[in-house]
C-alpha cells in the first residue's frame, strides 16, 4: 500500500512540474536557449560607403572590401561569407572567399571581387548579402548582427577591357625629344607621348581590346637624335625608326588583348 501511495504522489508531483513549466513558457519567463546579450555582435562596414547602388565597369576588376569587427573575441573562429539573393549576374562575374575571424581576435577583412572575364555581355545586376549566417556560427554570434547588402550594376563593354602597348624612346644627346611626339589614335581618341628629358624612357599605352589603332610621329627640333621602338600588347615589335624618324602615320592595325 505504501508503495502505491508513493507512486501516486510521484505522478502528481511530475504532473504539477510539467503544468508549472508550461505556464512559465506561456508567460515568457523562461530564458531563450540563446541569450543575445551574452554573444558578441558582428559589425560589417564597407570601406567605400558609396559603392552600394553604384554602376561599375567589369574591366576594372574591382575589389570591394568590408571590415569585420566583433564586439568581443571568442574562443572559436567566426566565419563570414556571402550569398547571392538577386540580380542577373552569375558566378563568373564575381568571386569571394569565406573569411574567418580568428579565435581570440575581433577583426578581419572580407572582399568581393568583380571579375573581368573578357566576355562582352549585356549590362547585369548583382545583389549579395554578407554575414555570419553559416551553421557553425549559430551558437556563437549575436543573431541581431549586421548582414551587409551589396547591390551593383555591372557594365560589360569592349572599351572596359584594355591592355598595354609599349613605347621605348631614346635621345642621343640626353635632353629629351624637343617637341617630337608619338600619337596613338584609338577609335578616334588621341593621346600624345614624348620623352620629356634624358637619354631614354619607356611609356605604357593602354589600348582598348578589339579596337582599331593608328600611330603617328610628329617631328621635333632635333630629330637626328631621336630613335624609338613600339611593341604591341603581346610584346611583338610593330614599328621602330630613327635617327630622324619618318613623320606622319607610321602604323595602322587592330588591337587584340592577350
- pLDDT tens for 166-182 read 999 999 999 999 999 99
Cα–Cα dist 118/104, whole Å: 42
Contacts of 178 (CB under 8 A, 6+ apart): 220, 221, 222, 225
Q: What is the pLDDT of residue 231?
A: 97
Q: What is the pLDDT of residue 60?
A: 61
Cα–Cα dist 132/142, whole Å: 10
Q: What is the pLDDT of residue 33?
A: 53
Q: What is the pLDDT of residue 28?
A: 43
- Residue 157 in contact with residue 118, Cβ under 8 Å? no
CA-nearest of 80, 125, 115, 73 to 98 is 80
Fold of 162-255: Lipoxygenase-1 (2.60.60)
Contacts of 160 (CB under 8 A, 6+ apart): 57, 58, 59, 60, 116
Q: What is the pLDDT of residue 117?
A: 61
CA-nearest of 114, 210, 119 to 162 is 210
Q: What is the pLDDT of residue 137?
A: 84
How far from the centroid of its chain's Cα atoms is residue 192's Cα?
32
- Residue 182 in contact with residue 192, Cβ under 8 Å? yes
Q: What is the pLDDT of residue 240?
A: 97
Tell me which residues of the chain have a pLDDT lower than 70.
1-34, 36, 59-61, 116-121, 157-160
Q: What is the pLDDT of residue 126?
A: 93
The overall pTM is greater than 0.75: no
CATH of domain 36-159: 2.60.40.1510
Q: What is the pLDDT of residue 134?
A: 82
Amino acid at each position: 500500500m505504501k508503495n502505491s501511495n508513493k507512486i501516486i504522489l510521484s505522478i502528481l508531483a511530475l504532473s504539477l512540474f510539467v503544468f508549472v513549466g508550461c505556464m512559465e513558457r506561456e508567460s515568457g519567463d523562461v530564458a531563450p536557449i540563446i541569450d543575445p546579450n551574452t554573444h558578441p555582435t558582428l559589425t560589417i562596414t564597407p570601406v567605400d560607403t558609396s559603392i552600394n547602388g553604384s554602376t561599375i565597369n567589369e574591366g576594372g576588376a574591382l575589389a570591394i572590401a568590408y571590415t569585420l569587427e566583433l564586439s568581443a573575441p571568442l574562443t572559436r573562429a567566426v566565419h563570414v561569407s556571402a550569398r547571392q539573393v538577386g540580380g542577373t549576374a552569375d558566378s563568373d562575374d564575381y568571386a569571394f572567399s569565406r573569411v574567418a575571424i580568428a579565435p581570440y581576435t575581433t577583426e578581419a577583412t572580407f572582399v568581393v571581387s568583380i571579375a573581368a572575364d573578357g566576355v562582352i555581355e549585356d549590362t547585369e545586376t548583382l545583389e549579395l548579402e554578407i554575414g555570419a549566417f553559416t551553421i557553425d556560427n549559430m551558437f556563437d554570434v549575436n543573431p541581431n548582427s549586421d548582414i551587409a547588402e551589396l547591390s551593383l550594376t555591372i557594365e560589360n563593354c569592349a572599351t572596359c577591357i584594355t591592355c598595354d602597348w609599349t613605347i621605348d624612346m631614346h635621345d642621343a644627346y640626353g635632353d629629351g625629344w624637343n617637341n617630337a611626339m608619338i600619337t596613338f589614335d584609338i577609335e578616334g581618341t588621341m593621346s600624345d607621348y614624348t620623352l620629356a628629358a634624358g637619354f631614354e624612357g619607356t611609356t605604357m599605352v593602354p589600348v582598348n581590346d578589339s579596337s582599331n589603332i593608328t600611330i603617328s610621329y610628329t617631328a621635333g627640333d632635333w630629330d637626328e637624335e631621336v630613335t624609338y621602338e613600339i611593341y604591341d600588347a603581346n610584346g611583338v615589335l610593330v614599328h621602330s625608326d630613327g635617327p630622324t624618324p619618318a613623320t606622319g602615320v607610321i602604323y595602322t592595325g587592330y588591337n587584340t588583348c592577350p
